[in-house]
């Protein structure tokens, strides 16, 4: 079972405990009737559905808080990841050049919490809970308050109301923008007859709510060939219709997001809302503006009186308004349940733990900089509850991997994981710089042979030696800039034959980070008697 399914099932267990609570029932002016028994049963169902939805929000908020604490730990305190990137699934807090510890853990928690809560809202089987709906505030001891921006609404619909595969999206758009779901559905039916790949031939509008390219781009949608016009274009519309004819809805949405049902309905409802609010929720004027354009309504109508005052109205627009009104009446709501699904929850967790861990990590970083044996230093200075993942297998000798520690910090607080409630673990990676100079090379011996000299020395036992460098000079020297570089020798070698062209010689160990002893070099005259 995946993580989402597991959490969803936990939430459903909570929902079975739901009891009926007080709800606000608002009767609409719709004239359609039901029998008394049917209406009472419908109202009772609204109470029951509404209470379950409210309980689901509360339970989801609790679960989302635990889940977010876990997610934050897995991401090293970030909502997503740091600018320093990842290392084998661990977020870098230092990546050789930059410190990248999380600077706004509360903000990261809030962003991730909203994302998790939205995923639970999307999983709810009823269409009433909208996502992206809460202003979240964090307080001490991780008390989380969510103030809903829009009401939770459910309704008893008229007999002629139809159930489409887009009902859930329509209900979410309705809750988000406070436009009646029956009206959104009526517009979709008139615009596209619920065909998500509909294209207006001769014009270029597309999708369920028939958005023009320019309008779609203003609403953040990608359009075919990235065009943004709002006037009709016959050639473009025909080309678009041909190119998507044999594509699935998912494939069509990749080349033009107007064919994505969710994006189209959300964007179309937001666009309609501007007309709906401008004309004071007058259905005739707002739907006429959606079809004919607000500029024409302002020019040809006394919109303070109503649509009946309009002149020069095209037959298409008159027919459009009448059809939308007819469908809206058919889909009309007999009763509406409306309440704000705000919540307050808390879990036993302290986000200040990250500040403490950051301080400990920085201290550890300072202590183990420039240490030739990194893991030995890390283990000798290990804070309580800390552990280190093994580095990748067989890294190249001078690979940066040898200086990276993957760190796990185990907490005593429980969070929700894929395996249920377990102690939280905060994960991050640190690169430990190395500027430590290798030890002086010892045991240098010189053996003359004709016109050459054989140099031998004791191999350096440090594990990060990359090579040795051979220097010579005519006179005694103690710094490298007083001698000439003769050659570089593999770290596996401890002898070298050199032409006898200088009186003094030195062998210098160089590590993987190009550190070397700059002074105090061991040097010997070439004369065998002077050892």
Q: Show the tokens assigned to 307.
A: 């649509």
Q: Output the CA torsion 255→256→259→263 (10° steps).
A: 120
| Residue numbers of the chain with a pLDDT score lower than 50 | 1-36, 159-160, 527-531
d(CA 300, CA 274): 19
**Cα–Cα distance for residue pair 508/442, rounded to 1 Å:** 10
Q: By C-alpha distance, which of 168, 187, 178, 188 is closest to 121?
A: 168
What pLDDT score was predicted for residue 280? Answer: 94
pLDDT for res 28 = 35
Q: What is residue 477's predicted lDDT score, i.e. its pLDDT?
A: 84
- Can you spell out the DSSP letters for 10-76? HHHHHHTT-------EEE--------HHHHHHHHHHHHHHHHHHHHHHHHHHHHHHHHHHHHHHHTT
Whole-number Å distance between alpha carbons of 298 and 285:
10
Collect all residues with Cβ–Cβ distance below 8 Å to 97 and sequence separation of at least 6. Answer: none
Spatial CB neighbours of 102, under 8 Å, sequence gap ≥ 6: 76, 77, 78, 82, 108, 354, 358
List of E strands, 320-360? 333-339, 343-346
- Give the CB-side neighbour count of residue 281, counting CA atoms within 13 A: 4
d(CA 464, CA 511): 5
DSSP 166: T
Distance CA 375, CA 373 (A): 6
Q: What is the pLDDT of residues 128-179, one digit of tens each?
A: 787 888 999 999 889 999 999 888 877 766 544 555 789 888 988 988 898 9
What whole-number distance in Å separates Cα of residue 228 and Cα of residue 290? 18
For residue 369, what pLDDT is reported? 81
The DSSP code for 402 is G
CA torsion 273-276-277-283 (nearest 10°) is: -160
Domains recognised in the chain with CATH numbers: 162-331 (1.10.530.10), 445-525 (2.60.40.10)
Q: In sequence order, what are the residues at sequence separation of 6 or more whose Cβ sits closer than 8 angstroms to the Cβ of residue 356?
A: none
């Amino acid at each position: 079972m995946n993580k989402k399914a597991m959490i969803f099932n936990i939430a459903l267990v909570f929902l079975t405990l739901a009891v009926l609570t007080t709800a606000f029932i608002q009767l609409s002016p719709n004239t359609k009737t039901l029998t008394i028994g049917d209406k009472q049963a419908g109202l009772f169902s609204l109470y029951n559905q509404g209470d379950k939805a409210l309980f689901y929000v509360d339970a989801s908020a609790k679960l989302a808080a635990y889940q977010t604490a876990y997610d934050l730990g897995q991401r090293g305190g970030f909502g997503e990841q740091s600018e320093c990137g990842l290392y084998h699934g661990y977020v870098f807090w230092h990546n050789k050049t930059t410190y990248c510890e999380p600077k706004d853990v509360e903000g990261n928690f809030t962003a991730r919490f909203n994302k998790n809560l939205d995923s639970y809202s999307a999983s709810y089987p009823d269409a009433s809970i909208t996502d992206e709906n809460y202003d979240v505030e964090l307080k001490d001891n991780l008390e989380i308050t969510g103030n809903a921006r829009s009401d939770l609404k459910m309704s008893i619909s008229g007999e002629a109301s139809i159930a489409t595969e887009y009902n859930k999206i329509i209900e979410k758009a309705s809750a988000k923008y406070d436009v009646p779901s029956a009206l959104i559905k009526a517009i979709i039916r008139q615009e596209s007859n619920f065909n998500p790949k509909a294209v207006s031939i001769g014009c270029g509008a597309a999708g369920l709510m028939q958005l023009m390219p320019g309008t779609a781009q203003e609403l953040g949608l990608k359009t075919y060939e990235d065009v943004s016009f709002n006037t009709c274009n016959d050639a473009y519309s025909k080309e678009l219709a041909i190119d998507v004819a044999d594509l699935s809805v998912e494939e069509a949405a990749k080349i033009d997001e107007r064919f994505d049902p969710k994006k189209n309905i959300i964007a179309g409802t937001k666009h309609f809302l501007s007309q709906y609010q401008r004309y004071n929720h007058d259905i005739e004027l707002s739907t006429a503006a959606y079809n004919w354009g607000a500029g024409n309504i302002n020019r040809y109508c006394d919109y303070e009186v109503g649509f009946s005052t309009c002149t020069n109205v095209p037959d298409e627009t008159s027919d459009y308004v009448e059809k939308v009104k007819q469908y809206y009446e058919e889909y009309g709501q007999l009763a509406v349940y409306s309440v704000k699904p705000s919540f307050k929850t808390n879990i036993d967790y302290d986000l200040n733990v990250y500040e403490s861990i950051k301080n400990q990590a920085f201290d550890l970083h300072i202590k183990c900089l420039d240490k030739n044996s990194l893991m030995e230093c890390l283990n000798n200075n290990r804070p309580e509850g800390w552990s280190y993942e093994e580095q990748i297998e067989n890294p190249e000798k001078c690979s940066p991997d040898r200086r990276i520690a993957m760190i796990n910090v185990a907490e005593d607080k429980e969070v929700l994981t894929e395996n249920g409630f377990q102690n939280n673990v905060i994960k991050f990676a640190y690169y430990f710089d190395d500027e430590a100079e290798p030890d002086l090379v010892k045991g240098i011996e010189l053996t003359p042979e004709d016109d050459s000299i054989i140099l031998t020395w004791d191999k350096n036992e440090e594990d990060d030696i990359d090579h040795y460098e051979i220097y010579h000079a005519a006179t005694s020297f103690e710094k490298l800039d007083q001698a000439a570089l003769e050659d570089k020798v593999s770290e596996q070698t401890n002898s070298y034959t050199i032409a006898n062209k200088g009186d003094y010689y030195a062998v210098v160990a160089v590590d993987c980070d190009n550190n070397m002893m700059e002074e105090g070099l061991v040097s010997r005259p070439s004369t065998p008697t002077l050892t």
